[in-house]
Chain A
Amino acid sequence: MASASTTLPAPARIGLRISPRVQLGLWLVLGLGLVFFPAFAGVYFVYMASLIAINIIATVGLNITVGYAGLLSIGHSAFLGVGAYVSGLMWLHLGTPLLVNVVGGALAAFAVGLVFGIPALRIKGVYLAIATLAAQYSLYFVFQQWTSVTGGDRGLSLPQLNVFGMGETGFYYVVVAIMVALLVAARNLFRTRIGRAFIAVRERDYAAEVLGINVVRTKLLAFGLGAAFAGAAGALTAAFLRIVTPDQFTLLVSVFFLAAVVVGGRASILGSILGAIFMTLMPELLQHGLTAVSKGADLAGLIAPLREIIFGSLIIGFLLFEPRGLVGLVERAFGRSETFDSRPEG
């Protein structure tokens, strides 16, 4: 299937013009908002905010692989699992601090990602999708069966984490700080030679090769980076929930992140943020909605199937009607019609 991308006109970033000074002001407001959020919001909201921040990290990672580099990964949650187990084990057995665990989880996920990526990425086509599906199931198998290390179905229980002596709020600050650092890193990545190479390979791999880009190495790096972000997110999930079990890393979770990327907007950092927020809040709203409707009737069994239906419909609906995702909707609302140069055409 040839990607029929025509040459786009030079990106016109007109429409909504914001002067740098106002922009700086907006960033300051956003930053202060994030810092003082726990002071005003309740425990539940801090909990949700931490969850959203973790999901944003994982979604940005998947977006690097799927959106920017055009490689389909459907085993993203398995790499979260690698990060979660590795960081959990480091914590239990080595007693290393959280930041070291996060780095360790990311590195481990990067390495495991390469194991599955190397055979698949040498071949064109959907082979990476198949290999990542294989990764999804075989890593689940390892998490579940390697009982002496992973604890099998019961999983690992981790001790309570107390950051800066502030408990949950302290953890919120850690997660948000890591998220901001990774977001800035991801944004800057696409201003460098490496990040541009991802986009070039996605659009025209032969042309990219002619221009001196090593296609295989670029694809591997894009895939590995996505897995590393997932590993970091997984390590944070482990510290956040204080339990790691195989059932946190199933195919449904991978489809969740894929939906987040498609809903938010492929090849867009802002899109990853919007998508992760939307997808994290959606099941919560669904649950509240169902409890309101049911009036005491037991509808808990409906939630899992409904989630699957909604994830699937969102993926299909956005791909058909708004391939640029929520970002596209936002831009349209602000009157921007041109696509950015980094946006995939499909």
Chain B
Amino acid sequence: MLQFIEYSIIGIASGSIYVLAALGFVIIFKSSSVFNFAMGEMMMFGAYLFFMTDQQLGFGWIAGLVAAFAGSALLALAIERGLLRHLLGRPAVVLVMVTLGVGSIIRGVAALIWGPNVLQLSEILPRKPIFVGELLIPGKLAWGFVGVSVIAAGFVAYYRFSRAGLAIRATSSDQITAEGLGINIRGVFSLTWILAGVLAAASGIIAGSVNGVTPQLGLVAFNVLAVVMLAGMTSVGGACFAGLLIGWMETLVGAYLGAAWQNFLPYLVVLLVMVVKPTGLFGENRIERI
């Protein structure tokens, strides 16, 4: 039983990594209905920017964080303004293909600059494990969870209470009406991509400081996809809950059934959600069945 609780805590803590990326996914999808397959690569790129500024250029971890957030936000803005803006109104298939292409380019560029090996980020998260009674929680995961909670809470507060958050919500519920009411929906698209960029960099740095960074980090995005599907694509609160849930299930499955099944779980979740309840747990009923 104690072991079960320990695995559960570890699982929920590691699930928190998915939460930020899933939030980035959801906010872009809500505002502009673009399904961003490059999310995982944006995470990876943020983590590499952090590594470069912090260790390769030697400016320290604070500058590293700033550079990663700024760089990732700029990258996201460039993708939106440079590519997707020109494709507004084109079929969804085309937009998705473009994000796939972007992901492929980022993966290639990262492998070209930083090579295929695993790089260790400097330890900004304390390694010292935390003891709660008899339970042992790995320090990095615990502090990562704290960091994610702070960022996610800040994001949700911004989304709920600020004028910009209101504009995003208005755009997501009806673009034309929102524009009619004087909301600059192009500005909203840019804003959501910038926010997604920052969220991606944050989750990439946390994921990277737990497991190290490789160009393959981008493929973590598949777990994020499972999170987003389970949450229902359009639900901000749902993404937080589903992220923790997937992390929890993944760790339990890994602990009791083996690592191979752990890797298999996200796909299973995706397919099950599609069969059983395509709107996800908390999604809006926007889905059209045929």
Q: Does A66 contact B93, Cβ atoms closer than 8 Å?
A: yes
Q: Is A304 an interface position by the 8 A CB rule?
A: yes
- A309–B105 CB distance below 8 A: yes
Q: Tell whether A216 pairs with B98 under 8 Å between CB atoms, given A1-B90, A120-B274, A319-B87.
A: no
Contacts A129-B35, A316-B98 given; does A123 touch B278 at CB 8 Å = yes
Q: Are A309 and B98 in contact (CB under 8 A)?
A: no
Q: In the assembly, what is the distance between CA of A323 and CA of B278, in Å?
A: 31
| A123-138 contact mask (Cβ, 8 Å, vs B): 1 or 0 | 1111101110110011
CB–CB A130/B229 < 8 A: yes
Q: Per DSSP, are chain A's interface residues mostly helix, strand or loop, or mixed?
A: helix
Contact status of A205 and B103, CB under 8 A, knowing A3-B90, A129-B96, A319-B87 = no
Does B5 count as interface, using CB distance less than 8 angstroms? no
- Inter-chain CA distance A116–B104, complex, in Å, is 24
B270: nearest residue on chain A (CB-CB)? A134
Contact B112 A205 (CB under 8 A): no
Task: List residues of chain A with CB within 8 A of the CB of B164.
Answer: none
Q: Which A residues have a C-beta under 8 Å from some C-beta of B?
A: 1-4, 66, 70-72, 74, 116, 119-120, 122-127, 129-131, 133-134, 137-138, 141, 145, 205, 209, 215-216, 251-252, 255, 258-259, 262, 301-302, 304-316, 319-320, 323, 344-346
Whether B101 and A346, one on each chain, are in contact in the complex, defined by CB atoms closer than 8 angstroms, is no
**A130: B residues at CB distance < 8 A:** 225, 229, 270, 274
Measured CB to CB, the closest approach of chain B to A34, in angstroms, equals 32
7 A-B pairs closest in CB distance: A308-B108, A312-B104, A309-B108, A312-B105, A315-B101, A305-B111, A346-B91
Q: Is B98 a contact partner of A319 (Cβ separation < 8 A)?
A: yes
B2 within 8 A of A: no
Nearest Cβ on chain B to A190's Cβ, whole angstroms: 18
CB-CB under 8 A for A320 and B290, given A301-B116, A315-B97? no
Q: By the criterion CB–CB under 8 Å, are A123 and B288 in contact?
A: yes
Q: Which residue of B lies closest to A118 (CB)?
A: B275
B94 within 8 A of A: yes
Closest A residue to B83 by beta carbon equals A316
Task: With both chains docked as a complex, state the minimum distance between the C-beta of A339 and any C-beta of chain B, in angstroms.
Answer: 15
Is residue B57 within 8 Å, beta carbon to beta carbon, of the partner chain?
no
A-binding residues in B (CB < 8 A): 33, 35, 37, 83, 86-87, 89-98, 100-105, 107-112, 115-116, 215, 219, 222, 225, 229, 260, 263-264, 267-268, 270-271, 274-275, 278, 287-290
User: B271 touching A134 by the CB < 8 A rule?
Assistant: yes
With a CB–CB cut-off of 8 A, which chain B residues contact A305? 107-112, 215
Taking a contact as CB atoms under 8 Å apart, the answer to whether B270 and A308 are in contact is no
Do A320 and B83 form a contact, CB below 8 Å, given A126-B92, A312-B105, A315-B98?
yes
Residue of B nearest to A315 (CB): B101
Taking A134-B270, A308-B108 as known contacts, 13 extra A-B pairs with beta carbons closer than 8 A to each other, sorted by chain A number, are A3-B90, A72-B93, A123-B288, A124-B287, A124-B290, A125-B92, A125-B287, A126-B92, A302-B112, A305-B108, A305-B109, A315-B97, A346-B90
Min CB gap A77→B, angstroms:
14
